[in-house]
Chains A and B, each alone.
Chain A
Amino acid sequence: MAARAIWKGIIELGKHEVPVKMYSAIEDRTVHFHLLHKKDHAPVEQHIVRKDTGKDVEKPEMRKAFAITKDTAVILEPEDLEKLVPPESREINLCRFVAPDVLGDQWFERPYYLGPDGDDADYFALAEALERKKVIGVARWVMRKKRYVGALSALNGYLVLSTLRRADQVLSFSGIEPAKTAAPSANELKLGEQLVASIEADFDPELWQNEYRKRLCKMIEAKARGEKLEPVRAKKKAPQQSLAESLRASIAAAKEKKVA
């Protein structure tokens, strides 16, 4: 079943234009719950009310206020908020290209696939160029009255555009050094690397399944049939050893597993 395009844009690169359609790259698999009234399991609705009187307030009466201090806020009328809306545009502007390791993973927010909108040839040529150069493009565009910044990349021959978080949202540290008492010794560091080496592997997303979701669904279905499921037992915590001892024992255990 083909997905509905969220938006249509035009990638601008130099004098080139590549028209594209944007699709969400995410399939929602969450098991969503409903809010129910405990007594009769009737669905629960949200009403917006005045906090002091508890009386319902209709949508035309509502306004947005933004706090300046703990006790003061400024009301913004709909006309004011209109002023914030950027001019409409279909352009996806590419500001620069950088190596992939320049953008840490904490910047990536929401991924979208881009598909060609009319011209397949140019679309695939751009994807090929990006894959060949192994770079990420920093893109800016306006969509549904909001400004976006994103990263354009190629994945298996297709274009992916991920929205990025803003500079003010992302925190990073540098120069963090442990105190003498908390610093691992050279020997501990060596053992640590050995342990990591014993459980290293290539990234294979298929290896990881959402186990909790499966069990939750089973429990819901079982409860619907009137059955009771056996609760799973929590693991007993292993007694604490020194760091070096734990490392050595872990490496030994990992080696045994490999041989078996």
Chain B
Amino acid sequence: MPKARAPAKAAATTSPWWLGGDEECPHCGQVYVLEVEFRCPDCDGPSCPHCRMTHAEGHFVCPECLENKDGG
């Protein structure tokens, strides 16, 4: 039984795997690959690397935790 190949794209360059993805960022809705996922140290929630924010104290947090200073 044949394993169909994805239909060839007439478009420009094929993007590298690290710009695509199967995961959906809960903050911006864009796709990303699991290998580049960011996990918020405050809530352990996933996000794409672009949505990672810098907390006033210097560490990285997700956009939600940046808003809610008092935590869950």
Contact = CB atoms under 8 A, between A and B. Distances in A.
Direct contact of A and B (CB under 8 A): yes
A144 B63 CA distance: 13
A32 B72 contact: no
Contact of B42 (A6, A33, A64, A143): A6
A105 interface: no
A4 interface: yes
B41 A4 contact: yes
Contact of A6 (B30, B35, B44, B49): B44
A48 B48 CA distance: 13
Given A30-B35, A32-B36, A32-B49, A46 B43 contact: no
A143 B72 contact: yes
A45 interface: yes
B36 A33 contact: yes
A57 to B, nearest CB: 11
Dominant SS at the A interface?
strand
Contacts, number: 35
A45 B72 contact: no
A28 interface: yes
B42 A4 contact: yes
A9 B30 CA distance: 32
A93 interface: no
A32 B38 CA distance: 9
Contacts of B35: 30
Given A30-B35, A32-B49, A46 B28 contact: yes
Interface in A103-150: 110, 112, 143-144
Given A6-B44, A46-B28, A64-B29, A144 B72 contact: yes
Nearest to B41: A4
Interface of A: 4, 6-7, 24, 26, 28, 30, 32-33, 35, 45-46, 48, 64, 110, 112, 143-144
The 5 closest A-B pairs by CB, nearest first: A46-B50, A144-B72, A7-B72, A24-B44, A6-B44
Interface of B: 18, 28-30, 35-36, 38-39, 41-45, 48-50, 64, 72
Given A6-B43, A46-B30, 12 more contacts: A6-B42, A7-B43, A24-B41, A32-B36, A33-B18, A35-B49, A46-B28, A110-B44, A112-B44, A143-B72, A144-B43, A144-B64
